[in-house]
Amino acid sequence: MTPSAKIVELPRSQEGTSGYSVASLFSGIGGIDLGFERAGFEVRYQCEIRPFCQAVLETHWPSVPRSTDIKEVKADEIPAADAWVAGFPCQDVSLARMGRRDGLRGRQSSLFFEFARLVGEARPRVLLVENVSGLLSSHKGRDFGVVLGTLAELGYSLGWRVLNSKNFGVPQSRSRVYVVGCYRDREGPPSILFEPQRSEGMSKAGREDGEKPVSPFKRILKHAGAKGPVTKAIAYCLYAESARHTGTDWSRNYVSYPKDGKVRRLTPAECEGVMCFPPGWTKLKGMKDSDETDSPRYHALGNAVTPPVAEWIGERTLAYLRASDFVEAGKDEMAASL
């Protein structure tokens, strides 16, 4: 089933006004944060260790308290929030490395356990954990089992789903696994991650005989006339970590100029568009375009979560929280009347 996507970009002054809040760990450049903010959550806390990403977060959320090293964070330092979101490091479970995967034993992906430590102390109502789909197969699925088992032991009912950004209006095929946990509520995760009916984006059960549909990877878009650039209709997944390539894995994602016989990689600004971030999201004040400044932008964007997917999950999380609070308020009112 393909989730129905609705992308509505609100002015920042109108975002985060629902009365519900979110704390973000392994924040990166704030893809999940931006999505949840658009859904109506107030971003109350961020934790990110990379200096460039910290600078991006500071640019867009200057008043939000922020930590760097999650290993040094204590739960009572994190402001109270209804939901915690985390895209813990994928480097040790990612198939993009094309080498040995250390999984949750790896130096970076093992930081999941620091997240679990904090969750165990704070017990937020809702968790969202994001990672690459390679987490599902790491150590033949045992690592994913450890993630689920660890959170379940802390009292969370869990659901998970692989979502592809291309189904949310994003011009990129980007599959990621999303795990939702609700504290002591088994009805919560499926209500957030799954829709009860088929959406408009789902394929029909049958199709008349005829020409086979053309893959969006093979469809091209021409720009600016005959001499203009040519690009794919949809990009391959942007990788930050790869054994063969760097940044955008540009051997697969490129812009060509057939008339001139030239080929170039996507620019950081174009990668922002492919990820559906607002223009200039990763271009810091005073930053000039150069290979030196492009590199951290490529890396940060390749690691990021696409905001439209996070917004869809955020909207459904908000609906769940509101419904839960409505039920609890009804119980309190009934008890008071007895």
* Token pair in block for residue 104: 């949750």
Tokens 């949750």: give the residue. 104
Instruction: Give how far Cα 319 sits from Cα of 4, 40, 191, 315, Å.
Output: 16, 10, 9, 6
| Contacts with 68 (C-beta within 8 Å, 6 or more apart), sequence order | 47, 48, 49, 54
| Contacts with 321 (C-beta within 8 Å, 6 or more apart), sequence order | 20, 82, 83, 125, 126
Q: Please give the positions annotated as active site.
A: 90
Tell me how far apart the alpha carbons of residues 91 and 68 are, in angstroms, rounded to a whole number.
19
Q: Are 333 and 83 in contact (CB under 8 A)?
A: no
Query: What DSSP string runs through 209-261?
Result: SSPPPPPTTT-EEE-SSTTS-EEESSBPPPPS--SS--TTTTTTSEEEETTTT
